[in-house]
Amino acid sequence: MHQYDVVIVGSGMGGLACGTILAKEGYKVCILEKNKQIGGMLQIFVREKVIFDTGVHYVGGLSEGQNLYQLFRYLGIMDKINIRKMDEDFVDGLIFKDDPIIYKYGQGYDNFIRIMLSYFPDEEIAIRTFCDKIREICKQFPLYNLRAGSYEDFGNAYRTDTNAYLESITKNKKLLCVLAGTNLLYAGQPDKTPLFVHALIVNHYIESSWKFVDGGSQIARYLVKEITSRGGKVIKHVNVTKLKEEGGKITYAEAENGEKYFANTFISNIHPVKTLEITESTMFRSAYRSRLKSLESTISVFYANVVLKKNSFKYLNSNIYCFAEEDPWCALNYTEDNWPQGYALFYVPSSKESEFAEGVTIMSYMRMNEVEKWKNTFNTVSHENDRGVEYETFKRKKAELLFNAVEKQFPGFKESIKSYTTATPLTARDYIGTEDGSLYGFAKDYREPMKSFISPGTKIPNLLLTGQNINMHGVLGVTISAVVTCSQLLGMEYLVQKIRNA
Ligand SMILES: Cc1cc2nc3c(=O)[nH]c(=O)nc-3n(C[C@H](O)[C@H](O)[C@H](O)COP(=O)(O)OP(=O)(O)OC[C@H]3O[C@@H](n4cnc5c(N)ncnc54)[C@H](O)[C@@H]3O)c2cc1C
């Protein structure tokens, strides 16, 4: 019989971070993962010897003394991961329709301000006001600063619309666009996304920005080592189809093949709505179920992973965000006729250093309804299925449109393509197990800021939730969520102290 202290369903960043924290605290942990590869969005794949990330292209906060650095130190992986600091003066480059300038974000606030002033010399007050505001908001979030506490209602930062705030500090339209220009990092919506989301994300990248050399899956690999070296287990190819409640608590997780995994505590790293679907219990009130079901998800994505011809396309230690309009929020409101309205281009950071890139990933938003026709198909490496010729044609057409858009800013790009693969919202759905292939989980709204905050505790006392739908997405957001989840078992003060002392 499989008997553990804690069974965790899903081996995404959240599941693995919880597993590591609890294994370090002496719990006998078992993580169950449906896929062939662990890590959820940390997964990588290789084409023509080029390593592509699926869901981690860069992270912030990894310089000594910063939040993710300290969290990774505590998790035992900081000295093992192979990371590369991005260009100090050019982490993100923003390109807007018909404007020849690439607006660059620098690392470090002084540097960020210095570079912004070179484009907007008359806007010093607005730029400094923006930076002060971002830092002031970030200070309010205890765990972001590794202090005990949780995400609570911090008033203004929650209840301010990002775009409205930017409009309040400057009349300079271009500066406004530039300051909002990385909103693809959270699938931002004007008149919706609260300022705290923009602040927490932009701040950690301004503090420091890093790429994982040869893929972000190394995070997962090292976390698994931390877990297994303490007697824990991470089991692949286990699709959990039932969490069985008996007598007011979950007694076991049951896999598709009927195998049962017993434990005292269960943590679900899968989508909360899916968690409810597989939980056999009357303890969840229908109001809770409908609230979760009614939450809007962030949009999904189409991406092309391109292997480049040798020595053909210059490598930048940077990212590019490009918009078809002057408006940085335009990418969401595409139509079939004008797609893509915006894209992000991420260079593959390889250990084989060269002035030329081996590969790039190009991402643009895509709604699930575009692939509605093929919704009844399922395709992953463990369950290979051909979605058909029409689907392949659809993907090829979209890739071509994306490449045409890139070619406009980077003449010669199309000529440098050696081969490519694509992924659609269905890919994200099938690999991660969400209904809608959402990029970053639930969308946040400044009008109802607390609605999309899901508590890690549930009505069933020994069932906890973790992952990007709880609190915040991203490697940092999800790691903090794992701390919130584990603090339910360990105590917040105790756990935060351990992290600070690591
Ligand atoms: C395209 C893209 C780009 C991104 N870029 C960045 C970036 O550059 N930097 C950054 O910090 N963040 C980025 N993110 C966000 C970040 O990757 C995610 O927020 C984070 O990895 C999500 O972690 P999670 O713990 O919620 O788990 P997930 O990654 O959602 O994993 C959940 C796991 O549960 C498993 N599972 C699901 N159902 C079952 C079941 N029934 N039984 C067993 N297992 C199951 C899944 O297979 C999966 O492994 C990106 C996301 C996307 C989609």
| Domains of the chain and any CATH numbers | 2-79+214-295+442-501 (3.50.50.60), 84-125+166-187+199-213+296-432 (3.90.660)
Q: What is the pLDDT of residue 353?
A: 72
Closest ligand 1 atom to 476 CA: 11
Q: Which atom of ligand 1 is nearest to the CA of 241?
A: 41
User: Residue 55 C-alpha to ligand 1 middle, in angstroms?
Assistant: 7
pLDDT above 90 (res 154): no
pLDDT score of 59: 97
Residue nearest to atom 1 of ligand 1 (CA): 55
269 C-alpha to ligand 1 centroid (Å): 9
**Rounded to whole angstroms, how far apart are CA atoms 493 and 247?**
31
Question: Distances from the Cα of 324 to the Cαs of 1, 185, 231, 321, 349, in angstroms?
Answer: 58, 17, 52, 10, 26
In this prediction, residue 34 carries a pLDDT of 96
Phi/psi at 386 (5° precision): -85, 125
> Do 334 and 325 contact (CB within 8 A), yes or no?
no
DSSP classification of residue 86 = P
Per-residue pLDDT tens over the stretch 182-213: 999 999 999 999 999 999 999 999 999 999 99
Please give all residues whose beta carbon lies within 6 A of any atom in ligand 1, as ranges. Answer: 9-15, 32-35, 40-42, 55-59, 239-240, 269-270, 301, 363, 432-433, 439-440, 467-468, 473-475, 478
58 Cα to the center of ligand 1, angstroms = 14
Helices (H), 285-369: 286-294
Strand, coil or helix: 346: strand
Mean pLDDT of the chain: 95
Q: What is the pLDDT of residues 388-416, one digit of tens each?
A: 999 999 999 999 999 999 999 999 999 99
Q: Which pLDDT score is estimated for 381?
A: 86
Q: Using CA positions, which residue lies closest to atom 50 of ligand 1?
A: 55
